[in-house]
Amino acid sequence: MPADRDHGDDLRGASRLVVEATKGVTTAVEQLHRAIAEGPGGIARPLTLPGQLVAGMVYGSVRGVASLVGAGLDRGLVQLRPLLGASPPGPEREAIVAALNGVVGDWLEATGNPLAIPSRLRRGGAPLVLEPTALAATVPARGQVVVLVHGSSMSDVQWRRRGHDHGAALEADGYAAVYAHYNSGRHVSINGAELAALLEQLVAAWPTPIDRLALVGHSMGGLVARSACAIGERDGHRWRAALRTLVCLGTPHHGAPLERGGNLLERALGATRYSAPLARLGRLRSAGVTDLRYGNLLDDDWAGVDRFASHGDRRTPVPLPADVACHAIAGTLSTVVEAEPRGDGLVPVDSALGRHPRPELTLAFPSEHQRVILGAGHMDLLDHPDVAAQLRAWLAAG
């Protein structure tokens, strides 16, 4: 059974979100008010100064009251926590929390918000205890293990779509399925490092020797899996030696246009004094989202750089893991074969297949390890029958 949700923690997390949103919107409105009051020249006229002082006091008091109310709510909910109880989380709650983490997960973690998702391995929505006896009681003790890594703003339970779950299908072929669960609003490299550590614990605690380990990542999950591979290889992890197969489904290896569009919109809003306060809204994008601009995998790809600033692709090239059968599936909304297929609505085909104008960034997926699925949107890759059949064939081949 899934681990129980604590209603008190949920309410505390939600109240903190509301308070911070109130303060943020108040600041944006204040800045917009000031820009309008100062006029086109940007210098306040004498008659407007008293009004601006009063306005500043009003906006400051709104933020102050919001902080006081938020602190009072937080203390009160801590006291009420035993009375509010807990219950198993439903799929709607899982989806909402996953989406929140995708958008502002880095902020949730930095502020200690109870809604921040911790990195863990799960099965059936319940965290796995990485100890031999506990694993033997909850997971088939097989020598073939597949770990599925979800995408941005999603959770592990969302691998099941319209009655199909790639993990369950692979388990019918003799694999034991384990699901990664992580805060997709954090940097890909941070999630990659934590996944690598969890895989090391999993291999050490697995109740039987692992002959074959496979990773399947959807969307951002493919980036997290590749990041984990690089870290596992660097640190000499045991699980990396057991890895035989990597499959990426609709992974933006070289970024996604949606995040680049968000960056352009933020820059456009910042172009004038009147719209600049609204640019603050563009900076709500999480670190995980801004990593999708180019497909960052390593700490060095983002460290020391304003992630909201306009800059080129500064990634360190990360090749596909050596001695691993690496595969890539791209979706396209096109229903017929085209010279330049449109992509799946979120990720271009070239990005999903690792193609890049710079040879050092191109990923060497063998041609027979690539597949383009016609008439498939980004989410359709989770349950498309052609994807399921291809996955089973590739993993059976090892």
Assign residue 328 the CATH number of its domain.
3.40.50.1820
* pLDDT confidence band for 273 (50 / 70 / 90): very low
Q: Does any domain span residue 356?
A: yes
Q: What is the mean pLDDT of the chain?
A: 82
Q: Is 117 helix (H, G, I), strand (E, B) or coil?
A: coil
pLDDT confidence of residue 47: 42
- Are 48 and 132 contained in the same domain? no
Token pair for 228: 């984990």
pLDDT confidence of residue 96: 83
Q: Does any domain span residue 211?
A: yes
Q: Does any domain span residue 307?
A: no
**Range in 270-284, 301-315, 346-360 the model is least confident about:** 270-284
- Are 78 and 196 contained in the same domain? no
- Are 136 and 34 contained in the same domain? no
* pLDDT confidence band for 208 (50 / 70 / 90): very high
* pLDDT confidence band for 364 (50 / 70 / 90): very high
Task: Give the residue numbers spanning the domain of 77.
Answer: 5-88
pLDDT at residue 9 is higher than 70? no
pLDDT in tens, 60-93: 554 454 454 445 544 553 454 454 445 555 678 7
What is the spatial distance between Cα 29 and Cα 145, in angstroms, rounded to a whole number? 53
- Alpha helices per DSSP H over the chain: 7-38, 49-84, 91-110, 132-138, 166-171, 188-205, 220-234, 238-242, 257-269, 279-282, 287-291, 349-352, 385-397
Q: How many domains does the chain have?
A: 2
pLDDT at residue 17 is higher than 70? no
Q: In degrees rounded to 5, what are phi and psi of residue 373?
A: -100, 120
- Are 179 and 124 contained in the same domain? yes
pLDDT at residue 183 is higher than 80? yes
- Are 189 and 331 contained in the same domain? yes
- Are 40 and 138 contained in the same domain? no
- Are 367 and 234 contained in the same domain? yes
Q: Does any domain span residue 110?
A: no
- Are 43 and 176 contained in the same domain? no
What is the spatial distance between Cα 195 and Cα 187, in angstroms, rounded to a whole number? 12
- Are 54 and 139 contained in the same domain? no
Q: In degrees rounded to 5, what are phi and psi of residue 389?
A: -65, -40
Q: Does any domain span residue 296?
A: no
- Are 59 and 133 contained in the same domain? no
C-beta of residue 277 within 8 angstroms of C-beta of residue 266: no
pTM confidence score: 0.79
Q: Does any domain span residue 10?
A: yes
- Are 52 and 154 contained in the same domain? no
Which of residues 42, 65, 88 is at a domain's end?
88
pLDDT in tens, 96-151: 889 889 988 898 899 888 889 999 999 999 999 999 999 999 999 999 999 999 99
- Are 60 and 124 contained in the same domain? no
Token pair for 16: 């903190």
Q: Does any domain span residue 222?
A: yes
pLDDT in tens, 166-176: 999 999 999 99
Q: Does any domain span residue 164?
A: yes
* pLDDT confidence band for 285 (50 / 70 / 90): confident
pLDDT at residue 220 is higher than 70? yes
CA 17, 19, 25, 27 dihedral sign is negative
